[in-house]
């Protein structure tokens, strides 16, 4: 049963990676080729610095570690600072209760992101109302 689940996940990942992004060219996106560590968020009382939560942008894909699992999926940049992600797929490993709550909070906020701003080594994602939701620092390579 696990083998079927892993095969399905691998098939989904190949399909997502192979999809062409029809939004503005991601090759010219200021996000393309960047790697970020989550340092703050507005939803959860958990401190994201206590977990490994990352976002890497490359060729129209966002991927990284969501606290326990790894994830991948498309991201789109629209006009101005418009931004969206999804659908995302991830591994399905279990972790501690706080880590699983942190992962759920992160993926929820990431899915709700509607705009972004990059400035001074930070990436900030904003929700539909224009409120800060996820704040990342640039990661050293």
pLDDT category, 43, cuts 50, 70, 90? Answer: confident
Give me the mean pLDDT over the 88-107 stretch.
95
CATH T-level assignment (fold) for domain 2-138: Lipocalin (2.40.128)
Torsion of CA 90, 18, 54, 38, to 10 degrees: -100
For residues 88 and 5, which has the higher predicted lDDT (pLDDT)?
Answer: 88
- Asked if the model's pLDDT at residue 38 lies above 80, the reply is yes
What's the mean per-residue pLDDT of the chain? 84
pLDDT category, 120, cuts 50, 70, 90? Answer: very high
Query: Do residues 71 and 94 make contact, with C-beta atoms less than 8 angstroms apart?
Result: no
pLDDT category, 73, cuts 50, 70, 90? Answer: very high
pLDDT category, 140, cuts 50, 70, 90? Answer: confident
Q: What are phi and psi of 14, to 5 degrees?
A: -65, -40
Residue-level pLDDT at 1 = 44
Query: Do residues 103 and 109 make contact, with C-beta atoms less than 8 angstroms apart?
Result: no
Residue-level pLDDT at 12 = 45
Query: Do residues 133 and 35 make contact, with C-beta atoms less than 8 angstroms apart?
Result: no
pLDDT category, 55, cuts 50, 70, 90? Answer: very high
Give me the mean pLDDT over the 73-99 stretch.
94
């Amino acid at each position: 049963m696990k083998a079927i689940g892993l095969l399905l996940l691998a098939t989904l990942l190949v399909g997502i990676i192979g999809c062409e992004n029809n939004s503005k060219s991601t090759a010219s996106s200021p996000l393309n080729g960047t790697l970020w560590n989550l340092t703050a968020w507005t939803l959860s009382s958990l401190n994201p610095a206590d977990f490994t939560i990352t976002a890497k942008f490359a060729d129209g894909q966002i991927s990284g570690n969501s606290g326990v699992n790894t994830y991948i999926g498309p991201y789109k940049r629209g006009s101005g600072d418009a931004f969206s992600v999804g659908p995302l797929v991830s591994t399905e490993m279990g972790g501690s209760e706080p880590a699983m709550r942190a992962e759920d909070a992160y993926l929820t906020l990431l899915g709700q992101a509607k705009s972004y701003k990059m400035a001074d080594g930070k990436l900030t994602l904003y929700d539909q109302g224009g409120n800060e939701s996820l704040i990342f620092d640039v990661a050293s390579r």
